[in-house]
Structure 1
Amino acid sequence: MLIDAESGDPIPSVIAQVDNSGRHLSDERGQLSLELSAKTDALFSHIAYETKRAVLAPDRAVTIEMVKKTNSLSEVTITSFESERGLMEQAAAVSKVDEADLNRFNETSIVNAFNTKPGIRLEERAPGSYRVSIRGSSLRAPFGVRNVKIYWDGIPFTAPDGTTALNLLDLTNIQGAEVIKGPAGSIYGAGNGGVISFTPGKVTQNKAEASVMGGSYGLLKYRVGVDQTLENGSFSASYVKQQSDGYRDHSALDRQVFQLQGSFEPSDRQQITTKLLYSDLFYEIPGGLTAEQVAENPRQARPGSAEQNASIKQKSLYGTFVHDYEFNDHWSNHTTVYIQTTDFENPFNLDYKKETQYGYGARTKFTLNDQWGAFPVRLLFGGEYQFANTSAQNFGNRNGQADTIRFADDLITTQGFLFQQIEVNWTPTLLMTLGVSENFSQYDINRTVDASAGDPYAATRTFDPVVVPRIGLSGQLTEYSAVYGSLSSGFSPPTIDEVRTNEGSINLGLKAERGVNYEIGYRGEYLGGKVQLDASAFFFKLDETITTYTNEQGVVLFRNAGATDQKGIEAQLDYFLVSNPVGLIQELKVGHAYSYHHFRFKDYVNDGEDFSGNALTGVPQNNLVNKLDLISRTGIYLNLTYQWVDEIPLTDDNTVMQDPYQLMNVRLGWRKNFGTAWQLELFGGVDNLLNESYSLGNDLNAFGGRYYQPAMDRNYYGGVKVKMRY
């Protein structure tokens, strides 16, 4: 018998693939009869359930429990705000990116998958060079990921100075992600832009996988991996290499990532997971172009970039330890610890930077589930601490080689916070969440060499302790609909790269951003889950906004720009046109995501120019995404994505704009099981099908009009995956 693992209900129309006896189908009662002469492997699949492998024996009845896929909002579980609850109970704007989202595109980066979600915008100025914008939060990020807190398997992946080397991770290291939009400092500390929590894959069966793909402009990627279950745990290992020549001159990429993971259960009450992640990354930086240069040849690099070997070399090693322990039926603890080392080298047109770093950190959370009189209560409290020691040197750049040293610093960054949160179910349908954190951070800069000033000196920036509160209410209207509201505070101190700039100055006067977010939202599903709506409206007030400008030498500098008002509406609508596990078309799903961002400078006067009332730099006002996904009984699938992006202001005075653009991506594939052990997948696709000219990540307020980073024109890819279960 085939039953739902959660409800115990029978599952009709489950396809059973049995060695040497073809395919069979369960009846309306979930029952299936097979004539077997010996023990046999069987593979059970259903469009609404995870595929399961089992061993069947002659004349023996077995019950197979199948785990349902989360195709419905009411079934989605969210772990954000450190509290595992259904999405309908969450009083926050949270988007979930699952494995199917990541695999809808060419699997070379996470950019396209995240950009299908409302309010989220990932940019790739060159292959491997990411920026993350959640509700406009990349305003202060000329390069790299800032003002967004990122976790990987619950481990702080953002450095204590607020930057994140997101490009170290490959899709191999990620199975899905949850994105909190807006400040979440009450439980995650610094960062007004939100939180991304990546979930790595779990070992559920013995398997070996290999894949290879290639594409336009020298793209080549291959991966091998193995998962092995043990008596009281599991083991996995994977290696992936990706390389490309790049669309533009001097934009090549070469990345290798190796991951080793072990998971163990010493007892029924505890689980230990350890990981070793090594990433070797190299990519070239073509640089920004003027409008005239783009019109002349969008594939050219900025003059001097190739001659100066503008590029990034980064080797990083992470070791992680995760421990879960249940003291009893009420108390539990989750603790993560990491250590890391990084070797970083960055020749650029204007200088040559070298850094070596080591760091460590930990996060722990205690959870109590109990009753407060007649009310169920969940209490959370814990803390997080991070430390990093960096040796940084800046040299002159002579034809791509480090020349005379200009300045050198020993940098120590620390950040930490304590958090507390209480959740009370006042009624079975009304949940209140109260949270608060107490934060501290400090930079110690010991300048050991300064070619211009002469004598060494030291500087320290200690930020005043910051208390960050949050309150949220969620109420279920029906079993399949809910409303929520929240009031949350956030703060974001400047990163070490914003305080210690590339021309040698130390800007200790740069202030931390402070923000308050007001939000209401609605979630609902109709027609038995076939139609799903998730919508929210927000108003975010940000003070001491950090913006960028470029001096005459082309060095990016930072300043506080008064206040901004950020108002917006975001919505996602998905509906199933077809959901039939035995039909020729098993699933046909259409989705839409829309963002309206009315973001304005409220109080911003600089050098006598008043930018108050101008649109926030780098933020499109409207963004629309349409998706179509098809799965057939024959194994053929189709993923089609269309995105329209409104014009984008490139300067604070709004005199230069990037024109609106539209993108269309398509992927077509075929997936087939051969017996119970082997699976083969062939796929191919086209990105930028309409051959649009655009920049996926502009340089804001760039000196000399070098705003544009032209993205790839129409390009193609294809590949094959092989999986063996054993």
Structure 2
Amino acid sequence: MCVISRRKRREPAATTLALALTAVLVHLPAAAQTATTLDTVEVLGTRHSLSDFPGSISVIDGDTLRAGQRQVSLAESLVRAPGITVLDRQNYAQDLQVQSRGFGARSTFGIRGMKLIVDGIPSSALDGQGQAASFPLSALDRIQVLRGPLALQYGNAAGGAIIGETAFDGRSTQVDGWIGSNSSARLAAGFEGASNDEAWRWRALGSWFTTDGDRPHSAAERSQLDAVAQYTPNDHARLRLVAGALGQPYTDDPLGLTREQWERDPHGTAAVAETFDTRKKIDNAQVGARWEDEYAQGREYWIGGYGVARDVVQFLSIPIVAQLAPSSAGGVIDLGRRSSGVDAGHRWDFGRGALTLGMEAGWLHEQRRGYENFVGDELGVRGRLRRDEDNRIRSTEAFALGEWRPAQDWTVLGAVRRSKLRFESDDHYIAPGNGDDSGSLDYGETAAALGVSRAFGEGEVFASLGHGFETPTVTELAYRPDGSAGFNTALEPAQFDTAEIGARWRFASASASVSVYRIEGEDEIVPADNRGGRASFANAGRTRREGIEAGFDGRFHPQWSYALTANFLRARFTEGFSYTVLSGGEERVQFVEAGNRIPAIPRADGYAELAWNTRDGRTSAAVEMRASDGVPTDDRNTDASPGYATFALRLQWRAGASGWHGFARVDNVFDRDYVGSVIVNEGNARFFEPGAGRGFTIGLGWHGAGG
């Protein structure tokens, strides 16, 4: 039986940091001139001037996403956003681990803690689990990375939002390809066009990627097709249509390594990965539509909808003895997810402010089956059925976003969102020792934020406060910690109170940003038990995250440029707790002490780049550096990965705005052995996922404009 214990819960402590600095802003001298707007950002469907936005946000443009990059994963570009930490597993079966101010660090697959949106279609499921592979890096024109209290308005994600957008800039055709180490290769081709009157515009791009992987048993292949069309009947309305498909045949999963295994072979693979032939297959298809109309001066509305179909088959390495337990779900996961949603909203602009009201509704139906990963003496094949259930999520949300400009250089932005989610599970596999795990659970949560910004001559300062939440995923709700049958109805959403202050500067040849924040967490979701192949979770412990993030980029000479991001984060449990695990057939209580670091979160990490280009801008070269402090592997801090720094070189060339272009790059120049990611609380102590060794890539492409 699992017992979760903790100290008496305190009422959430009000953080005064942001309020104090807000008071300081009142005493700043008036701006000598109106801040120049160099960019705009979109929050909850409405556009804002960057100089008026009182929160932390980064914009990565399309050229940066693609310049000298392999365009395979978000790990290549998200490191440029302050506050974001990307741990590249080098495991295409499990996707990246992306953290925003420490949120998402616990995710063993996919992205947790951040809302992912591509051209209006969520890449995050209603329970908060997201997939970064659906971002078409070759087609996107920019990515917004929103953090802090105002990011909480995206609902079931405490870490913020990553939003990809496609734009149209003419008629063109492009073909790109590269080859690299580990028998890796990628080919992409696309086109952009328009009708004669340019009322219709469209863009489509397809890509194919293959690799044998840096480690044994880590081969992968991925095909992707994305298309966007836009109809603009007049100067105030538009219809946007989006479609995409991703196919990833069985991708080998090399699993994590124990410390002994990693030290013996830093690029090795766990033997059980090949014994059970661990692998994963993904098929994803999505469509969406959105209509926007500014039907009157200062009045606009939008309405949209989407549908997503996702199918996953995954072979795990669960030992046969564990799979034979009556309560086991087996060693093969076979699930199909069908989700859909609609959203609508209206914005009113007034003389000194604006009001936006909106609603969203979503539905998800998951058919999940589990099978044994053996037949007789043969391993790595689908065996007997051991799990069969239908899971459903229904979500209804309403939000309001208000903007007020009390004076020329001041902006106040407030937002509130009310979310209702219903989880249901119908268990169709009931057998001796495996009871009925059906059940339902309702959550009703409110997120709210308030921010204020003050513009000055070359930028702005801001402060904000907010409250947000994260619900459990379907997987976390599946089983009860005490081993009894039924839905885990005792599991509560995690709650977070956030405060931040920050500043941005934009000069003619440089820009900079810095933010200081504090986040108080309660009811964090942690592993509680893992027996017979059934993992269960519980709420335990309070947490605190205190950090500083900064970003700088610019030119100190017409031929020299630089970029730098740095993150410093103190993330700890402020309240002790305990949970029970089953090890070697015996129950053992694990104690987590107050003051322990939250696992997988580095205390310091960052990215630096120094680039040179010829006077005509057609050729450039750069050196890149990524560095990270070591991270704890589990709640009890029994082990930790070592820190590291890696370097990369890249060279680019292009004939001009159109024509031929090429690049070459060397990653991990000094062939450093390092841990790219850790698997938090891994039951077999296989915590460590090795980073890739030295790798070479060379690419060539052609871009034709006009037509």
TM (norm. structure 2) is: 0.86
Map 1:565-714 → 2, pairs under 5 A = 565-579=544-558, 585=559, 588-606=560-578, 607=589, 609-632=591-614, 633=616, 635-673=618-656, 678-714=658-694
1:521 and 2:502 aligned: yes
Q: Which aligned pairs between 1:25-40 and structure 2 lie closer than 5 A?
A: none
1:631 to partner: Cα distance:
2.6
The Cα shift of 1:343 comes to 1.9
2:241 aligned partner:
274
2: distance between equivalents of 1:317 and 1:506?
A: 30
State which drifts further: 494-503 or 679-688: 494-503
Measure how far apart 1:308 and its partner are.
Answer: 1.9
1:335 shift after superposition: 2.4
Once the two structures are superposed, the pairs formed by residues 328-367 of structure 1 within 5 Å of their partners are 328-350=296-318, 351-367=331-347
Using a 3 Å threshold, how does the CA distance of structure 1 residues 395 and 663 change in structure 2: closer, same or farther?
same
Measured in 2, the distance between the counterparts of 1:664 and 1:699 equals: 24
Deviations 1:16-69 (A, max 9, x none): xxxxxxxxxxxxxxxxxxxxxxxxxxxxxxxxxxxxxxxxxxxxxxxxxxxxxx
| Post-superposition offset of 1:415 | 1.7
Contact 1:445-1:459 within 8 A present in 2 as well: yes
Query: Are the aligned partners of 2:151 and 2:161 in contact in 1 as well (CA < 8 Å)?
Result: no
1:385 counterpart = 2:361: yes
Higher relative contact order, structure no. (Cα contacts within 8 Å, ≥ 6 residues apart) = 2
User: Secondary structure of 1:196's match?
Assistant: strand
C-alpha distance in structure 2 between counterparts of 1:400 and 1:646, whole Å: 37
In structure 2, C-alpha distance between the alignment counterparts of 1:252 and 1:558, rounded to whole Å: 32
C-alpha change, 1:110 and 1:243, in structure 2 (3 Å) is same
**Pair 1:86-2:49 in alignment:** yes
> What is the total number of aligned residue pairs between the two structures?
636
CA contact (8 A) 2:642 2:675 kept: no
Name the amino acid aligned to 2:440: T
| Of 506, 515, 525, the match for 1:536 | 515
State the shift of 1:268 in Å: 3.1
State the alpha-carbon separation in 2 of the partners of residues 289 and 402 from structure 1.
25
For structure 1, the residue ranges without an aligned partner over 5 or more in a row are 1-71, 580-584
Q: Structure 2: how far apart are the matches of 1:229 and 1:565? A: 52
What secondary structure sits across from 1:712 in the alignment? coil
Give the structure 2 partner of residue 54 of structure 1. Answer: none
Q: Tell me which residue corresponds to 2:130.
A: 164
- Secondary structure of 1:293's match? helix
* Offset of residue 556 of structure 1: 5.1
Question: In the alignment, which of 175, 194, 217 is matched to residue 229 of structure 1?
Answer: 194
User: In structure 1, what is the equivalent of residue 581 of structure 2?
Assistant: none
Residue aligned with 1:648, SS:
coil
Letter in 2 for 1:656: D
Q: Indicate the SS of the match to 1:272.
A: strand
Would the aligned equivalents of 1:74 and 1:87 in 2 still touch at CA under 8 Å? yes
Q: Deviations over 1:520-576 (max 9, x none)?
A: 0111234xx223220010010010112246736676543322210110011112231
- Structure 1, 350-359 or 447-456: larger mean CA deviation: 447-456
Deviation at 1:451, TM superposition (A): 3.6
Please give the root-mean-square deviation of Cα atoms over the aligned residues, in Å: 2.1
What amino acid does structure 2 have at the position aligned with 1:280?
Answer: G
Cα separation, partners in 2 of 1:535 and 1:220, compared to 1, 3 Å: same
| 2:118 alignment counterpart | 152
- Output the amino acid matched with 1:600: R
* Cα pair distance change 1:702/1:186, threshold 3 Å: closer
Match of 1:97 among 42, 52, 60: 60
User: What residue number does 2:488 align with?
Assistant: 507
Residues 634, 329 of structure 1: CA spacing in aligned structure 2 closer, same or farther, 3 A cutoff? closer
1:298-313 equivalence runs, <5 A:
298-313=266-281
- Is the CA contact (8 Å cut-off) linking 2:437 and 2:478 kept in structure 1? no
Q: Is the 8 A contact 1:288 1:708 kept in 2?
A: yes
The Cα shift of 1:186 comes to 5.5
**Which residues in structure 2 correspond to 1:454-473 (within 5 Å)?**
456=436, 458-463=438-443, 465-473=444-452
- Deviation of residue 295 (structure 1)? 2.2
Partner AA of 1:395 in structure 2: Y
Structure 2 counterpart of 1:640, one-letter code: V
Give structure 2 stretches of 5+ with no counterpart: 1-34, 319-330, 579-588
Matches of 1:559 and 1:353, distance apart in 2: 23
CA distance in 2, matches of 1:610, 1:133: 22
Shift of the alpha carbon at 1:73? 8.2
Contact 2:650 2:666 in 1 (8 A): yes
**CA offset digits 1:574-606 (Å, max 9, x no partner):** 231123xxxxx3xx2112211110111111221
Structure 1 residues 131, 330: CA separation in 2 closer, same or farther (over 3 Å shift)?
same
Work out which of the two has the higher radius of gyration on C-alpha atoms and give 1 or 2.
1
Normalization by structure 1: what TM-score?
Answer: 0.84
Task: Tell me the distance in 2 between the aligned counterparts of 1:455 and 1:482.
Answer: 59
Percent identical among aligned pairs is 20
Check 1:148–1:707 CA distance in 2 against 1; reply closer, same or farther (3 A cut). Answer: same
The residue type paired with residue 476 of structure 2 is E
Structure 1 contact 159–386 (Cα < 8 Å) conserved: no
Deviations 1:692-723 (CA, angstroms, capped at 9, x unpaired): 11222211122232111111101010110101
Equivalence for 1:24: none
- Tell me, yes or no, if the aligned pair for 1:185 and 1:490 is still in contact at 8 Å: no
8 Å CA contact retained: 1:637, 1:669: yes
> Equivalent of 1:263, from 200, 224, 230?
230
